[in-house]
Structure 1
Amino acid sequence: MIEPAFILVRPQMGENIGAAARAMLNFGLTRMRVVDPRDGWPNPKAVAMASGAGRILDHAGIFPDLGAAVADCDFVFATTARSRELVKEIVTPERAMAMAREMAAQGKKLGFLFGPERAGLENDDIAHANAIVTVPVNPEFFSLNLAQAVLLLAYEWGRQGSEVPASAMELARTELASREDIQRLAGHFEERLETAGFFFPPTKAAGMKLNLRNMWGRLALTKAEVQTFHGMLRQIAFRLKKQDQADG
C-alpha cells in the first residue's frame, strides 16, 4: 500500500515543520513534501524540533510550487477549517482516511495539503484538491497549529490500521488521472477558451479561470476521460479552422 504524502504548503516556521515530521513518524508516515518554505531549506530549527524523526526531513521533497508537488497524485485532499467559496466535497478526517486507504490499496497516490500558519490554504491552493478535510473543532476558535493538524490526520491514518474495507470505492478500481494530467487538461481548456474570447470582461478573467481550475481539481477523472476531453478540444479546433478557411 502506498502511504499518502503530507504536503506542507509555504510553511513559515521551521519548528512546525519539525513537529509535523515527528507527528507523521509517530503513526508510520514518512512521505513529507514541502512547498516554498519561507525560511528556505534545509532549516536548522526544523531539524532540532524533529529530534528522532530527522530522517523524514532528510528525505522530504522540496518543491517551488504546489502544482509540482501534486503533479503525480491521483487524488488530493485539502485540510481547512474555514468555509470557502469553492465547491468541494467536505469530509471528516475519519472519512478522508477511509477513502485514502481504499484508494492506496489499489495503488493510487494520495496527497494531503496543509496550509501556512498565518492564514491557511488559499483558494488557488484548494483548487488543486478533489475534496476538503475539515476537523470538527470549536466554531468560535477553529485555528489549528500546522503540526496539530498533521498530528490529527496522521493519527487517523494510524488508527484505522492496515485493514481495507471489503467494498472499495468505485473510483479506486479505475485508472485515475494524475494531478499533472488534470493540470494539462485545464491548461488546454483555458487556451481554447482564451482563443474563443470566453474570458470577458478582462477584469473578471482571473476569477473565471480560478473557478474552472477548481472544477477540474475536484473531478476524479480517469486517464481515458482526460484523453477524450483533449480529443474533443482538438477536433473542435480543427473543424473551426476548416470552417474559417472555407468562409475565407
Structure 2
Amino acid sequence: MPSAIPQPAFVLVRPQMGQNIGAAARAMWNFGLDRMRLVAPRDGWPNPDATAMSAGAGRLLDEAQVAASVAEAVADCTYVLATTARPRGLTKPVLSPERAMAEARDRIARGEKVAVLFGPERAGLENADIAQANAIISVPVNPDFASLNLAQCVLLTAYEWRRQTVDVVAEDMAMGGSEWANVKELDALAKHYEERLDTAGFFFPEAKAEGMKINLRNLWSRMPMTRADVQMLHGILRQMVRWKERGD
C-alpha cells in the first residue's frame, strides 16, 4: 500500500526503457515519494528490467498505476506540472523546481491532487502533453546541454519536494563519538603546553614571553576542539618529552 503521507503523483509519460523506470522509482523512494503512474510504457508492463534497477524500491513498481494516455493518468488531479527543458511556444507559467514543489505542497495541503509529468527519454514531453498541464517546471541547466536523463529529472524534482516538506538542516557537526572540550579542559591543555615549552626555552626573550603565552591560549580557544582532540594533543606532547628524555 502507498504511504499515507500526502504527496504528488509522478507520471512517467511513454517511458522507453525499463531500467530508467526502475531508476526513477529508486529516486522517488530516496525522498519518500511512492505514487508512480505510467503512461503507455514502450516495452509493456510489468518490466523485469525496471525491477532489477529499482534497488529496493520495487514496491513502487508493483503499485504503479498504468494508463493509456496522459488525460487518463491525471484525470483525478486538480493541478498538473510538466517538466521540460525546451521552450514550447505555449503560454503557461514557468516555475523553477523549488517554486513548483512549494506550489505543489501548498495545494496538496488544501486537499488538492497534484501530478508531475516526465517525458520519454528520447525527446521529452510533446506539446500535446504539456497543453494538459497547468504550469511548466524548467530546470536551470546548461542551455548548450539541456537534456536530463529521466531518472535525473525525477531525482531533482523529488529532492525539491523533500526540501519543501521536511526540516532540512543546512549544516551540522558529526561528533564522531566525542564531545566538545570545555573551558577547564582547554585551560589544562594550555598550562601543559606552557610548562613544557617554558622548560624547552620556547618563550624567549623574556620580555615577549607573556604575549606569546596569550597568543598560544588564544590559539587553543579559537580552535573548535573536542575532548578527543585535547587528549591527543596532551599525548603528543607527553610522547615528545619522553622521546627527548630517552635521547639524553
TM-score by length of 1: 0.65
The letter of the residue matching 1:81 is A
Whether 1:89 and 2:93 are equivalent positions in the alignment is yes
Task: Give the greater-gyration-radius structure (CA).
Answer: 2
Whether 1:68 and 2:72 are equivalent positions in the alignment is yes
What does residue 143 of structure 2 align with? 139
1: CA distance, partners of 2:148 / 2:130: 17
What does residue 134 of structure 2 align with? 130
Contact 1:2/1:108, CA 8 A, preserved across alignment: no
Identity %: 67
Q: Give the counterpart of 1:113 among 85, 96, 117.
A: 117
- The Cα shift of 1:22 comes to 0.3
The letter of the residue matching 1:6 is F
2: CA distance, partners of 1:85 / 1:140: 19
User: Number of residues paired by the alignment?
Assistant: 163
- The Cα shift of 1:81 comes to 0.5
What does residue 158 of structure 1 align with? 162
The letter of the residue matching 1:107 is G
Q: Give the counterpart of 1:46 among 42, 46, 50.
A: 50
Where relative contact order (Cα < 8 A, 6+ residues apart) is larger, the structure is 1
**Aligned Cα root-mean-square deviation (Å):** 0.9
1: CA distance, partners of 2:35 / 2:165: 17
Superposition map of 1:194-233 within 5 A: none
1: CA distance, partners of 2:11 / 2:123: 16
1: CA distance, partners of 2:77 / 2:165: 22
Aligned-partner SS, 1:160: helix
What does residue 14 of structure 2 align with? 10
The letter of the residue matching 2:96 is T
Unaligned runs of 5+ in 1: 164-248
1: CA distance, partners of 2:37 / 2:91: 26
What does residue 180 of structure 2 align with? none
- The Cα shift of 1:162 comes to 4.1
- The Cα shift of 1:2 comes to 2.3
TM-score by length of 2: 0.65
